[in-house]
Amino acid sequence: MLQFLLATFLLLLSSMFEPSPDSSAVEEGVGNISGEVIDARNLRPLPGATILIDETGLGTATDADGKFRIENIPTGSYNLTIRYIGYKTARRSNVIVSSNRTTAIEIRLEEDLIEGEELEVRGDFFERPRDAIVSSHSMNFEEIRRSPGDLVDIQRAVQALPSVTSGSDQLNEIIVRGGNPGENLFMMDNIEIPNPNHFAVQGAGGGPINLLNSYMVRDIDFYAGAFSARYGDKASSVMNISLRNGATDRLRGEASLGMAGAGALFEGPVSSNASFIFSARRSYLDWIVPATGLTAIPNYFNTQGKFTWNLNSDHTLYFNGVYGSDRINIEGGDQAGYGRGAENLDTQNSQYIA
């Protein structure tokens, strides 16, 4: 009976979230890439920027609003090269193109200095300190997705970086250069999050399940030292998480089901200059407790959303919000097989970030 219910649930999800093919990519085995190119400093659109797909000959240029679209691309993984006069050339690797889907990306270009005549300056009096090395690393969602063993968890993804380790395989806490797990700062679109995890360890920065949906992440900047003073007085590290905007071409949805829980993600346009992205996830073991034979069932639920409104070419308004709730209840004394003071436990925690 349980297997029949799960099969019916999966069939309903696949019928609800099956993407409708784009009018420009009706052939099986092809997809599209769309997005925008903006200035990394003032977020203004860059019209006329060229976007080329390496080793394919496919490419296009951005319009007056900095947007672009490349259609009828065979499915696979591609590397993009983006160029604009007066800006540094950018490269985006491992851009996945799926059949009858449009992959949306946002590219930020940094201004480049105009080179003049060569000028040689010699300074033998001062010596560069060898220990003053900035430890920073940036990664996008594709790097997180391809990182082995991280379960698409942004904290587990950085555990493999130099100077970072973890105290336990069951927790995603990060320990930087022997510091305390509570000395790490987590920022999401400039919002500080004390501990972005379910069943969080008080006074630390880790837990078994991450609260944030990694499929909404655009990129991560991780600083293991020598970070800016604007991040406050944290002693170990800073993880600056930037979320992507919702799709601007059409409404999309997808669902996921795993041992950690079931979830769904929706995104799409609200108007010509506004978009949204929203996700929700819940554990389901408490629905099938008799079939599992477990006594202690973790129960959690979280939602996350972002609304983007482009007021004009100079100003963009964001609304960000995250909610998470978790609970675990252990009863039954030593007959439950736990012991060690955990015979009766009932704990509940909630987090609100906006």
Can you give the three-state secondary structure of the chain, one letter per residue?
Answer: CHHHHHHHHHHHHHHHCCCCCCCCCCCCCEEEEEEEEEECCCCCECCCCEEEECCCCCEEECCCCCEEEEEEEECEEEEEEEECCCECCEEEEEEEECCCCEEEEEEEECECCCCCCCCCCCCCCCCCCCCCCCEEEEEEHHHHHHCCCCCCCHHHHHCCCCCEECCCCCCCCCEECCCCHHHEEEEECCEECCCCEECCCCCCCCCCEECCCHHHEEEEEEEEECCCHHHCCCCCEEEEEEECCCCCCCCEEEEEEECCEEEEEEEEEEECCEEEEEEEEECCHHHHHHHHCCCCCCEEEEEEEEEEEECCCCCEEEEEEEEEEEEEEECCHHHHCCCCCCCCEEEEEEEEEC
Domain boundaries 24-112, CATH class = mainly beta
User: Are the beta carbons of 137 and 222 closer than 8 angstroms?
Assistant: yes
Give me the torsion for CA of 16, 151, 146, 140, rounded to 10°.
80
Which of 141, 201, 213 lies closest to 174, judged by CA? 201
Of the chain, the percentage scoring pLDDT greater than 70 comes to 81
Which of 261, 254, 164 lies closest to 216, judged by CA? 254
Specify the range with the lowest mean pLDDT, choosing from 17-26, 65-74, 294-303: 17-26
Where does the pLDDT of residue 20 fall: very low under 50, low under 70, confident under 90, or very high at 90 and above?
A: very low
pLDDT digits (tens, 9 = 90+) for 137-159: 888 888 887 877 777 788 888 88
Place of tokens 């964001």: 318
Do 24-112 and 135-243 show the same overall fold? no
Of the chain, the percentage scoring pLDDT greater than 90 comes to 34
User: Are the beta carbons of 353 and 188 closer than 8 angstroms?
Assistant: yes
**Selected residue with higher pLDDT from 206 and 295:** 206
**What pLDDT was estimated at residue 97?**
92
Where does the pLDDT of residue 268 fall: very low under 50, low under 70, confident under 90, or very high at 90 and above?
A: very high
pLDDT at 62 over 90: yes
Indicate the CATH number for domain 135-243: 2.170.130.10
**What pLDDT was estimated at residue 278?**
97
User: Are the beta carbons of 109 and 90 closer than 8 angstroms?
Assistant: yes
Distance set, CA 334 to CA 57, 338, 342, 346 (Å): 68, 6, 9, 16
- Distance CA(85)–CA(88), nearest Å, equals 8
- What ranges do the domains of the chain cover? 24-112, 135-243, 247-354
pLDDT at 26 over 50: no
Where does the pLDDT of residue 52 fall: very low under 50, low under 70, confident under 90, or very high at 90 and above?
A: very high
On average, the pLDDT of the chain sits at 81
**What pLDDT was estimated at residue 270?**
94
pLDDT digits (tens, 9 = 90+) for 211-267: 898 889 988 988 887 777 777 777 788 899 999 999 988 899 999 887 778 999 999
**Selected residue with higher pLDDT from 21 and 86:** 86
Tokens of 23: 């009018």
**What pLDDT was estimated at residue 342?**
53
Q: Determine the average pLDDT of the residues in 300-311.
A: 94
**What pLDDT was estimated at residue 25?**
38
pLDDT at 322 over 90: yes
**Selected residue with higher pLDDT from 290 and 222:** 222
- Distance CA(186)–CA(209), nearest Å, equals 15
pLDDT digits (tens, 9 = 90+) for 154-206: 888 888 888 888 877 778 888 888 788 788 889 999 898 888 988 887 777 88
Instruction: Please enumerate in sequence order all residues whose Cβ is within 8 A of that of 207, keeping only pairs 6 or more positions apart, or say none.
Output: 171, 172, 173, 195, 197, 198, 199, 200, 201
